[in-house]
A and B are shown apart, each in its own frame.
Chain A
Amino acid sequence: MSTLKPETRDLQKSLEEDVEAALNPGEAQGYYRDTRECAALLLIAGAALLSPPAPRPKK
């Protein structure tokens, strides 16, 4: 690679780094849709522990 011009060598070097990174990716962040809906779900889910009583009008 010593015959390459300096700018070509830089380009090659950065490409090598990109390749190394692409071959060794970290684990992607988990994505959960449940989290946003939790407030609505929890009432139902919690109620399931015993039984969701019939909905009644609030005072």
Chain B
Amino acid sequence: MTAHTAGATARVESAAAPEQDYADYAAHGGIVRGALEWVTAHQDRFALPADVSDPRTDLNWSMKPLGELARLSTSITRTAHTVAEHLHDEEWRRLARHARGLLDFAWAEIAEGRVLLELARAEPHATYPLEIYSAFASAGLRDEEFEEFTGALVRTRAWAFTEQQPNRRLGVLAAEHHARLPSHDDPTEVLRRTWLGSLPEPWTFDVAAGYALTHTVFHLTDWGARPAGVPADLNRYLHHWLPCWLDTCLEDQQWDLTCELLAVGASLPAPYPPDRYRPVWRELAARRAADGSLHEVGPDTEGPDTEGRDDGPPDRFTHRYHSTLAVAFAAALTAAALTAAGVPAHGGRATAFQAGAHR
């Protein structure tokens, strides 16, 4: 019999870390901890510049990373808390507190909503201030003035017909909900206009479609908090085809998208089974740098941090902050899915916590 030479199996085996079982809380706790420690060590890079509301400031490299930090810290806080309660485990309580600390940092950076209000006043018909606000609002961090200002605008016809990709429209609808504003559209109808909602031929998957589908699921489930938000046909469809997409994303070295797909698997009404995600997690974990961070794509060849924000070539931080947040998010959701399946604390090698397996 010939061997399966260049496929996923061989690659995964070569990257094996035999002491970790990625269907185990400890392994995922270690990934979350390593990533959060890296984020904390680079917290100043998420800080907003003093001139954030200056029209010449590039929000893609200021507001966007901070918004993503808020979004994923919110989810990781909630998820780590769920795991901690299930296991009565101090390490997961620490992780929940750590993530909450990062969320509080982001809330302080936007001056408890005031910066978002300023941006909303600067661009009253843009949806992004509300979308970022919803990350905070869903964690209970609110600004009445922002909600009041935006509330008037979302009632316009123009707002309801803002031209956006359907998966992003779902995000705006979810944001309206979190900001306690009236919804302008029916999410089930918007869903069917997304790539995923059409149940597309799975062989048409590419990176752009992949990000569209992960975000569709994130918005449907409130970033993993509500698996029941995924309709039965999508659940079935994703169970059928996630294995092929994960396999090829690994081979294509799309680490960031792999994290998002794993997060999708952990957000399904029937979570993606450990036997399937275990080798994917093993390879992904092996791709992390020694400092707990993960780069977005390809081989890890980036140079040192240059502290540059707008000028000069993208540095080490630029190409790993997103995937580092994503790997923590996916690992926390995977652990939470184990609790939903009733997996006990010490079913596997959970003692690795005491052995200092985490970074």
Contacts and interface: CB of A to CB of B under 8 A. Distances in A.
Physical contact A–B (CB less than 8 Å): yes
B126 interface: yes
B297 interface: yes
Given A24-B2, A59-B57, A48 B211 contact: yes
A33 B127 CA distance: 32
B56 A57 contact: yes
B152 interface: no
A43 B60 contact: yes
23 contacts: A26-B2, A26-B6, A28-B6, A30-B252, A32-B248, A33-B206, A35-B252, A41-B208, A44-B208, A45-B256, A46-B256, A47-B64, A48-B168, A48-B211, A49-B326, A50-B135, A50-B171, A55-B60, A56-B55, A56-B56, A56-B57, A57-B56, A58-B58
A46 B132 CA distance: 14
Interface string B1-35: 01111110000000000000000000000000000
Contacts of A2: none
Interface in B171-201: 171
A52 B5 CA distance: 40
Interface residues of A, number: 32
Interface in B159-178: 167-168, 171
B207 A41 contact: yes
A45 B6 contact: no
Given A35-B252, A38-B297, 5 more contacts: A30-B248, A38-B298, A46-B296, A52-B64, A58-B310
Contacts of B131: 50-51
Nearest to B56: A59
Interface of B: 2-7, 55-60, 63-64, 67-68, 71, 123, 126-128, 131-132, 135, 167-168, 171, 206-208, 211-212, 215, 248, 251-254, 256-257, 296-298, 310, 319, 322, 326
B126 A54 contact: yes
Max count, chain A CB within 10 A of own CB: residue among B4, B211, B257 = B211
Interface in A9-47: 24-30, 32-35, 37-38, 41-47
Contacts of B251: 30, 32
B252 A34 contact: yes
B206 A51 contact: no
B252 A51 contact: no
Given A32-B252, A59-B310, A47 B60 contact: yes
A24 B298 CA distance: 30
A49 B296 contact: no
A53 interface: yes
Given A27-B6, A28-B6, A50 B252 contact: no
Nearest to B253: A35
B352 to A, nearest CB: 30
A55 B4 CA distance: 46
A48 B206 CA distance: 15
A17 to B, nearest CB: 15
B132 A51 contact: yes
B5 A26 contact: yes
A34 B135 contact: no
Contact of A50 (B3, B55, B58, B71): B71
Given A26-B2, A56-B57, A50 B257 contact: no
A51 B257 CA distance: 16
A58 B56 contact: yes
Q: Which of B60, B123, B253 has the most CB of A within 10 A?
A: B60
- Residue among A37, A38, A59 with the most chain B CB within 10 A? A38
B309 to A, nearest CB: 10
A43 B126 CA distance: 19
